[in-house]
Structure 1
Amino acid sequence: MEFIFSAVVTLILIMDPFGNIPLFITSLKKVSPERRRFVLLRELAIATIIMVTFLFAGGKALDLLGIKQYSMGISGGIILFIMSLKLVFNSLEDETTKTNPKDEEPFIVPLAIPLIAGPATLSMLLIFSATPGGNLWKILIALLIASMINSAILLLSFPISNMLGKRGLIAVERLTGMLLVLMSVNMVMNGIAEFMKSYNL
């Protein structure tokens, strides 16, 4: 149970639903209000399917490529660190101005990938699968719970944005970034420790 709770919290932080709110609002701005919920649910479902597929098949693919688990931990930590620095130092106002929504509905990119099922999330799923006390079914339960919480927050994107305002969203974003910095450093150090252990260093 402790593993599942820890995995849920970690996945929610990495998925960063509050940080994604402005990007989702911008991407859906030109979609008719009556279709926004449908489009959002479709993208969330696609992202969940991608993450579940990667959870069960990603490890085997890495084995075929000869990629070691400690390499995944270190690279995942680096990706997470870069992402967390972006959350800490870039304001959401800047992010929304960089996004240029097209007239048509977004499909898979950029909502499902990489905003939800991004490289940091996929890397974390593989790291969980190699963590003592974790197995695929526990990780699957954690992933589904985290996806439901993420979905609930993003489905309320427009009301939450109005309630918190830009400053409130920026504060939540930067707090999330600080937590992810600590997690990313821990992931890199664990990966280095596993590397040294594997070579008896």
Structure 2
Amino acid sequence: MDTEYLISAFTTLFVIIDPPGLAPIFIAVTAGLQPEERRLVAIRSCVVATLILLAFALAGSHLLAFLGISLSAFRVAGGLLMFWIAFEMVFERRQDRKAASAERALHVDEIHGMAVFPLAIPLISGPGAISATVVIGSQAPSVGHFAILIGIVLAIMAMTLAVFLAAGPIDKRLGATGRAVITRLFGLVLAALSVQIVADGTKTLMAAPVM
């Protein structure tokens, strides 16, 4: 049972969070930052995402129920936020702001804010990852199984951090043209993903009985 729970939990969270797939998005979001600033964003975003997932694993279902928020509604809200980010990536709104900010040094608060949104929320610890963490945690038959879930979250976040730290050298090889292509391409992918999240959440909401 331990092996089955380990494989199921790890596979589910790894596929949903998708650390390798986050690398191009991380490069696009942090375009224009200095290497040390990008490293700071990578570490902070992974730490914040880890704390969020652990918090929801411990008390997510109780918190949402207390607030009267369903997981489906949480999915729709997260999907809409992700679509806004994707729109900016495709139409260079984000890049225009980066170009303007390149003329001055970014404040530490701005770098910290970038790490929290959109990286930690909703890209790393998005509605899908949070929902999966809550569900898997609620299905843990014992404290030992729940400890396994905590270890899995920490392992996947460590993988994500490693991917982010390796993104800098990759970015140097891409150059401006490569960054532009990747930004638009993954902006489209992110837009499609956000629409799917909203569609799934809306479908569940529509199927839910009216109170």
Output the TM-score relative to the length of structure 2: 0.67
1:19 matched residue in structure 2 = 25
Aligned with 2:122 (options 103, 119, 122): 119
- Deviation for aligned residue 1:93: 4.1
CA contact (8 A) 2:75 2:197 kept: yes
- Deviation for aligned residue 1:164: 0.9
- Deviation for aligned residue 1:71: 1.0
- Deviation for aligned residue 1:185: 2.0
Q: Distance in 1 between matches of 2:101 and 2:60?
A: 30
SS in structure 1 at match of 2:69: coil
SS in structure 2 at match of 1:156: helix
CA contact (8 A) 1:70 1:195 kept: yes
CA contact (8 A) 2:16 2:129 kept: no
SS in structure 2 at match of 1:199: coil
Matches within 5 A, 1:100-119: 102=105, 109-119=112-122
- Deviation for aligned residue 1:74: 1.6
Choose 83-92 or 190-199, whichever is displaced more: 83-92
Matches within 5 A, 1:149-164: 149-164=159-174
**What letter is aligned with 1:196?**
M
SS in structure 2 at match of 1:86: helix
Matches within 5 A, 1:180-191: 180-191=190-201
Aligned residues: 195
Q: Distance in 2 between matches of 1:59 and 1:81?
A: 25
SS in structure 2 at match of 1:196: helix
Structure 1 residues 10 and 176: CA distance shift in structure 2, 3 A: farther
**What letter is aligned with 2:126?**
L
Q: Deviations over 1:79-127 (max 9, x none)?
A: 2222222222227642422446647756971353124311353323233
Matches within 5 A, 1:137-156: 143-144=153-154, 146-156=156-166
Q: Distance in 1 between matches of 2:90 and 2:158?
A: 25
Extract unaligned runs of 5+ from structure 1: none
1:165 matched residue in structure 2 = 175
Extract unaligned runs of 5+ from structure 2: 1-6, 141-145
Structure 1 residues 84 and 105: CA distance shift in structure 2, 3 A: closer
Matches within 5 A, 1:49-64: 49-56=50-57, 57-64=59-66
Q: Distance in 2 between matches of 1:112 and 1:24?
A: 9
SS in structure 2 at match of 1:118: helix
**What letter is aligned with 1:67?**
I
Structure 1 residues 174 and 135: CA distance shift in structure 2, 3 A: farther
Q: Distance in 2 between matches of 1:67 and 1:160?
A: 40
Percent identity between the two aligned chains: 19
2:86 matched residue in structure 1 = 84
Q: Deviations over 1:136-193 (max 9, x none)?
A: 7687666545533432232134321211112212222222222222222222222222
Structure with bigger helix share is: 2
